[in-house]
Structure formats: C-alpha cells, structure tokens
Amino acid sequence: METKRNFEVTGVDYVAVPTADAEKAARFYGEVLGLERSQQWGEMPAYEFETGSQTIAVMQTDAFGIDFSPNAAPIALHVDDVGAAREDLEAQGVSFAGETIDSGVCHIAPFSDPEGNALLLHNRYAPHE
C-alpha cells in the first residue's frame, strides 16, 4: 500500500549537536576541528559550522527548553587521511576511543567532543559496489 504525500524530502539541511555551553562548543568545532562558522541563530546560543557536505549546528539546549544529553550515535566526519587528521587532533589534546579501525573498506577513528557527543574521523578507501 502506497501512501500519498503532498511533500518530498530532498535533503538534510543540518544536523543538531547538543551542548551545555555554546561558546565552548564553538571553540571546539571552529578552532580544533577547523570548521567554518557560518551562522548564529539570531541572538540564541546556537552556531552553524560547514563541513563541505553537511551543516553541523551546535545548540545550547537549555536555551531551547531541552535537557542536555550528548549524542551517543556518532557523526562521521570525512577526511582524506584519517591517520594524519588523528595526529593533528591528538596534538590538540583530543582523546580517541581506541585504535583506528580498518573495516576492510574504510578507516574509522572514534572520539568525542568535550561534552561527550560522539564523532568519528572516516575515510572510505574502497569503491562502493
């Protein structure tokens, strides 16, 4: 049975990342990860950062009436060289959750932002079948 819809989802405009401290999160995503900060949500403590293919919006949850709880499911950040990116982040004090994983098709290096939101460096080196 097919459902008739009056709309079509054509993309994802941003992914929200919760924070208890928007300024601290902005420093991490902007300075440590090196993402371009593009927008602030008016006067609200929420900032958007560009990755090239997806916008990450860090939002101070209490300003939006939401209790803070970090994301447990990771956002996969594409990099060309996981090893080099990991070295750069470790030099800035970022701790990783174990060794870099080689899945047979990609390299993965899991870590978290300062408030516990799960992130990972990711590079798929094998072509999609």
**Each residue of 47-105: pLDDT tens digit?**
999 999 999 999 999 999 999 999 999 999 999 999 999 999 999 999 999 999 999 99
Closest CA to 33 of 105, 110, 104, 86: 86
Looking at residue 85, what DSSP letter applies? H
pTM: 0.92
Q: How far apart are CA 110 and CA 74, in angstroms?
A: 8
pLDDT, tens digit, for every residue of 2-38?
A: 888 999 999 999 999 999 999 999 999 999 999 999 9
Sorted by where each starts, the structural domains of the chain and their CATH numbers stand as 15-124 (3.10.180.10)
